[in-house]
Structure 1
């Protein structure tokens, strides 16, 4: 997959072009310099299947599975598929690994069956990763599975046949720029072996474009084309690929070709955008810490975590592309098989709450997540994904202002009664959840969801915590707003335009003076931010922390909230000498 996030930043007033991924989960979401385009893609017949699918399998497989993270007796940290780059392995030495790549246990039909059983609707496989090794029979380069390995057979063809046979859509990942073995291919930090030197334009014309033509003409319909890491790509170079892509008129492409080509999909990596993204987006994630198989990476996410990631992604309106890294033999590691089965068990019961749904209409649900599905009769089905089961037998639905037509468990169809108290709707539920990972309640309401304005209450200790995902974001017409990003450590990022701002509606129970603190990260050198409520404003100059992923605690000062009741707190920036800054939660302590 991706290790370095290489960005061409157009700061202050312009969007930034996102080019690649990152080695560590968390740094991508926190970096102003990695902002991608915001898409405004309207559903068409070409993209309709993809928007309904919600769940796919990513497969990273290649020669890098032979060393599996170890070179010359040393175990290298980081991503398995980046070993050649990280260890600066000479071309000739690395090519010797291909002589041991003999996946005699490769069973593509079994792969597809496991994906289907897990509830996945499409597969995307690495046809060629950054090491330049092609998993298909290529005429453009002998560095491929047919000519360079004892296996000697095309790996993509039987997978394409298995997908067609079982009704699974198939997409291809292709590293169009980075190629560490074919002469002239780009390398994120430059070449380390003279055998890599050559003309990048010759590489594009003689290797990359011909290989893309091969994968788009030799294997039938291709559902998705996944570019990656556009090192040294320009508009002119990217434009050369487009006529080849047109060979598959129904194909969906991502945003990583380079040269400002937006594609159809924004592709956050290893994180789920806190408030989703306008347009089509697909978050890709690993089951452990690496994309390609790595012998000593045993840090597996739980099945529960993976299922909730799927729910989280669907609740924000995106697709979840979950990676598997097969062993060099062609088998999936046992932990992967186990987790796919666990996800499949949950999906067998609850997939209706994932497929064909749109993002949750709620800003915040204290007990879990929700997805939405518009019905032909004008009514709406809400799927309530309950993580934290209520102890009092009432599941509150904060802010919903519609008539409830019916409520039932999705798992067994058992009808549930509903009620209203203190102007808040609730569902009566039994004392125990049906599924501790996520019990789903199917709620049908009259018309489209009508959600009351969200107001945040203080914490039990009286403090007020302003979370990025709960903010209302504002931007002048024609300018770019900041975004709420991240998972457990959310931040307001991509604040490239100082006229953008964030605000929170807060219920003040205890008037008085509050100390204010937050955590910021910026490349610098400095900038001024302000927090205001009513007629009172506090301003603070924050200085460089060295990097957009390096956060430091900042005391902003004190602010007085003089009245009980509803108030608005706003975060703004000063236009003069503005430098982008990432801001995590803001805490007001009485």
Structure 2
């Protein structure tokens, strides 16, 4: 068996800002990547500790609340003007002209975020409709000049954030703008304007840059500039905006959407952290400086019919899942036209905050899992000298089996509201192997209905054997990102160790496609080959079942049983899959989104 041991140690870093192309090998997959070193550790320090923030989508579109001319419009609410091609003058008169959020209370709003355990807020200062949610001198298409409300809610919010020690960030749609005739792009307002007359540079100089300058000059300390939808944007514009932002707010953080997500080249050091796709959590583990953006309903902006609220349990599990992969969670709410967040969402957020008051050590300042594989019971976060096992699904038999931890364990306990509950555990090395197992006996029932946290304190710097082996129930999980890949030959291969001979069913677990609306399973009906140590089996991929994933995002995992295998003796084996059209691109929408392969014992009669 190939042995891959990682050691987690403290290192002195000597960062250089710049861009280079390097060869890297991660999880067994050789690939050419663009490596960017950023001199931004100091300004990112607070963000890396914070882990949890509030995203707010609020604009004129909430007056429509997902309905237009008596029709419920499918999809996310903030795109309603584009979907129905509502003329600018109608949007201004009939909807901005009725936008009067008299119930908006900035102090209460910020307290809601603080009490939920959030450390920062990012609010839409201007979304794609081009309407400024603040008092803008650049354009009268703004909250003060074009609504009966006549006040600047962002000014009140900035004051409240300072009062309650919550950091403030502004979302700004820098490329798409349905109000301005020169904001030419693939989502252009061609029902009001003629694209042949549009000059993007004019929009950029007249509106986009001046409004960002207003936002970063008139509201005190601004911690984040959150920009969006830069597809096709020339790198010169991204550079100009980033340089201006840092000249006005030297410590400001800028997300990766300031530039085209497909761009790789000089200038990538302009952004500080990567924003994932909407409602998408990266499959890789313990990535560096990234965030997941997730909704509390099915839409970002408020819709009347959208009552599919995420529970406190779902929010906690998403948060901990993201932290286990080294990321932050920016969780969205959509206030209504009165300025109020639905009471059900407020209650869920309050419950999350109560949980974080007792169990927040598994989140705040925590790093991602040191293991290069996933677990069927939950996820792992860590701090120096301690692992946190976050148990989402109570394991059969009432115990957790963790293979690969080579450090001596000092103590194991469950975190409770009253303190620490000691748990029994046993460390052993499997006979005739080098496989280390830690068995932890769990309490009789979950300590928390949201997420039970088990702390494992260990000696020394972490030493993890990353070999893929069976767990105590003899189940083997082979994660997609750990496969050796030959993309040209459409082949994946995993080396793993079998401890117990016998017959096993082989299940392939994939995801539905990552779309806002009507998630679908892509890749069904393919013919492919399963091969284990030279014995090949043909199969046709079909859906045999579904299961919810830990991330609780809108799409399910799909279960496909692709064959049975038999192992006559313990030892090292190789499993290969060939012939599948898989999704390899960043957000995995253009083929089968494979998550993992699982080998499960077939119980003998």
TM-score by length of 2: 0.76
Partner of 2:346: 337
The aligned counterpart of 1:507 is: 498
2:339 is the counterpart of 1:327: no
Q: Residue 300 of structure 1: CA displacement?
A: 1.1
2:275 to 252, 264, 267: 267
Give the CA deviation at 1:572.
6.4
Residue 80 of structure 2, aligned match among 83, 88, 110: 83
SS in structure 2 at match of 1:246? helix
The answer as to whether partners of 1:537 and 1:559 remain within 8 angstroms in 2 is no
CA distance in 2, matches of 1:331, 1:232: 36
The partner residue of 2:323 within 314, 335, 340 is 314
Q: Secondary structure at the match of 1:194?
A: coil
2:391 counterpart of 1:386: yes
Q: Does 1:371 align with 2:376?
A: no
Give the aligned length: 522
Q: After TM superposition, give the deviation of residue 303 of structure 1 in Å.
A: 1.2
Number of the residue aligned with 1:409: 414
Cα 1:533–1:143 shift into 2, 3 Å: same
Per-residue deviation, 1:541: 12
Tell me the equivalent position of 1:6: none
Contact 1:506 1:569 in 2 (8 A): no
2:201 alignment partner in structure 1: 201
- 2:48 alignment partner in structure 1: 51
**Residue 333 (structure 1) shift:** 1.1
C-alpha distance after superposition, 1:31-60 (max 9, x if no partner): xxxxx9786657611101111111000000
Contact 1:186–1:232 at 8 Å: present in 2 too? no
The one-character-per-residue Cα deviations of 1:292-335 (angstroms, maximum 9, x if unpaired) are: 11111111121111111111111111001100101111111112
* Displacement of 1:206: 0.6
Deviation of the 1:282 alpha carbon: 0.3
Alignment-derived partner of residue 257 in structure 1: 258
Answer whether contact 2:125 2:132 (CA < 8 A) is retained.
yes
Does residue 439 (structure 1) correspond to residue 452 (structure 2)? The answer is: yes
Cα separation, 1, equivalents of 2:580 and 2:377: 37
Aligned residues of 2:178 and 2:188 also touching (Cα < 8 A): no
- The runs of 5 or more residues in structure 1 that have no matched partner are 1-12, 16-35, 375-379, 476-480, 482-494, 543-548
8 Å contact 2:53–2:331 — kept in the other structure?
yes
Are 1:472 and 1:504, in contact at CA under 8 Å, matched by a contact in 2?
A: no
**3-state SS, counterpart of residue 387 of structure 2:** strand
Matching residue within 349, 352, 359 for 1:350: 359
Per-residue deviation, 1:509: 4.7
What per-residue deviation string (whole Å, max 9, x for no partner) do you get for residues 527-573 of structure 1?
9987554445679999xxxxxx9999999899886654331224468
Measure, in 2, the Cα distance between the counterparts of 1:294 and 1:230.
26
CA–CA distance in structure 2, aligned partners of residues 316 and 249 of structure 1: 28
CA 1:352 to 1:212, structure 2 compared with 1: closer, same or farther past 3 Å? same
Cα deviation for residue 342 of structure 1 reads 1.1
The structure 2 residue matched to 1:95, chosen from 92, 97, 104, is: 92
Of the structure 1 ranges 190-199 and 45-54, higher mean CA displacement relative to structure 2 is found in: 190-199
Q: Distance in 2 between matches of 1:231 and 1:583?
A: 23
CA RMSD of aligned residues (A): 3.9
Per mean C-alpha deviation after superposition, the further-off stretch among 550-559 and 200-209 is 550-559
After superposition, where does 1:61-460 map in structure 2 within 5 Å? 61-96=58-93, 97-186=95-184, 188-195=186-193, 197=195, 198-247=198-247, 248-259=249-260, 260=263, 262=268, 263-268=271-276, 269-276=278-285, 278-362=287-371, 363-374=373-384, 380-389=385-394, 394-411=399-416, 412-420=418-426, 422-423=428-429, 424-457=437-470
Report how far residue 391 of structure 1 moved. Answer: 6.7
Q: Is 2:87–2:192's contact at 8 Å kept on the other side of the alignment?
A: no
Distance 2:175 2:48 in 1: 28
Structure 1 residues 558 and 337: alpha-carbon distance in aligned structure 2, compared to 1, 3 A threshold: closer
**Could you give the per-residue CA deviations for residues 236-276 of structure 1, whole angstroms, max 9, x where no partner exists?**
33333232122222111111122535422221220222223
Post-superposition shift, 1:456?
Answer: 4.5
Paired with 1:588 and 1:368, the residues of 2 have a C-alpha distance of 18
Query: Relative to 1, partners in 2 of residues 1:298 and 1:162: Cα closer, same or farther, differing over 3 Å?
Result: same
CA distance in 2, matches of 1:117, 1:515: 45
- Partners of 1:406 and 1:465 lie apart in 2 by 27
Q: Give, in whole Å, the separation in 1 of the partners of 2:294 and 2:73.
A: 21
Could you say if the C-alpha distance between residues 506 and 219 of structure 1 is closer, same or farther in structure 2, counting changes exceeding 3 Å? same
Shift in alpha-carbon separation, 1:176–1:436, aligned structure 2, 3 A: same
How many Å separate the matches in 2 of 1:115 and 1:107?
Answer: 13
Say whether 1:567 aligns with 2:573: yes
1:173-207 deviations in Å (ceiling 9; x for gaps): 11001111122124544433234753222111110
1:200 and 1:323, CA in 2 relative to 1: closer, same or farther beyond 3 A?
Answer: same
